[in-house]
A and B are shown apart, each in its own frame.
Chain A
Amino acid sequence: GDSVTQMEGPVTLSEEAFLTINCTYTATGYPSLFWYVQYPGEGLQLLLKATKADDKGSNKGFEATYRKETTSFHLEKGSVQVSDSAVYFCALSSGGSNYKLTFGKGTLLTVNP
C-alpha cells in the first residue's frame, strides 16, 4: 500500500538558517504529493503541492520538487523565521474519486530567535 516516510524530528534551527525536511514515498501509479503544516492548537493547512513528476510546489518561501526517480518530495526553505515553528507533514494521494491522503508521521520544527 501507499506509505510516506519523513525525517524524524525534532528539528531545531536558528532564525535565518536553511531548512530541509526529507520525505520519500511508496505508491502505485503516479500520486500527487503535498506538504501540510500544523501550528499549535490548530488543524492542518496545505502548504504546497505537486501533481506530477518534476513539478515544483512553492508557497511562503517553502519549496519542494516532485522527484519520481528518487520517489522524494523534500521540503526546503532558504531562511526560516520563528513563525515557521510548527509540525510539517508530507502526504500523498493516489488520486481517483476516493481522495485519501496518506501522511508521514510529521516533523516538529522549532526556530529560535
Chain B
Amino acid sequence: DSGVTQTPKHLITATGQRVTLRCSPRSGDLSVYWYQQSLDQGLQFLIQYYNGEERAKGNILERFSAQQFPDLHSELNLSSLELGDSALYFCASSDSPNSPLHFGNGTRLTVT
C-alpha cells in the first residue's frame, strides 16, 4: 500500500460530461502529481502541485484542470469529455523534489 488514495476506482460517463477525480496524498507529502496512462500515449505527465500551488504543467488539455486544497488533497476536473479521454488517471505524491514518487492505484475513466 503506497498510502496514496484515489477515488473513484472506476468511472463511466458519456461524451460531453464533466467528472472529478480525487486524490489524497501520503501523510506528510506536499507534492501531488497527475498522470494519464493510455495504450497509445503511455504515461503522460499532466500537472504538479506543491503545497497548494501549481508547480509544473505537462500535456494537460485546456478542458482539464486541477487544484490542491489546504488539506493537501487534490482534484482533477475533466470537462467536455471525449472518447479519447478514456484512460487510467494516476495520482502520485512525494515529500520533496528529489524523492521517489508514490503512486495511487488509479482511476479508470471510460467515456462512452
Contacts and interface: CB of A to CB of B under 8 A. Distances in A.
B96 to A, nearest CB: 8
A20 to B, nearest CB: 21
A58 B24 CA distance: 29
A43 interface: yes
Interface string A57-101: 000000000000000000000000000000001000101111111
B74 interface: no
Interface residues of B toward A: which range?
Answer: 20 to 34
Contact of B94 (A41, A99, A104): A99
B100 A100 contact: no
A98 B103 contact: no
B106 interface: yes
Given A44-B101, A99-B94, A106-B42, 12 more contacts: A34-B100, A43-B2, A43-B92, A43-B104, A44-B103, A93-B98, A95-B98, A97-B50, A98-B48, A99-B48, A100-B33, A101-B33
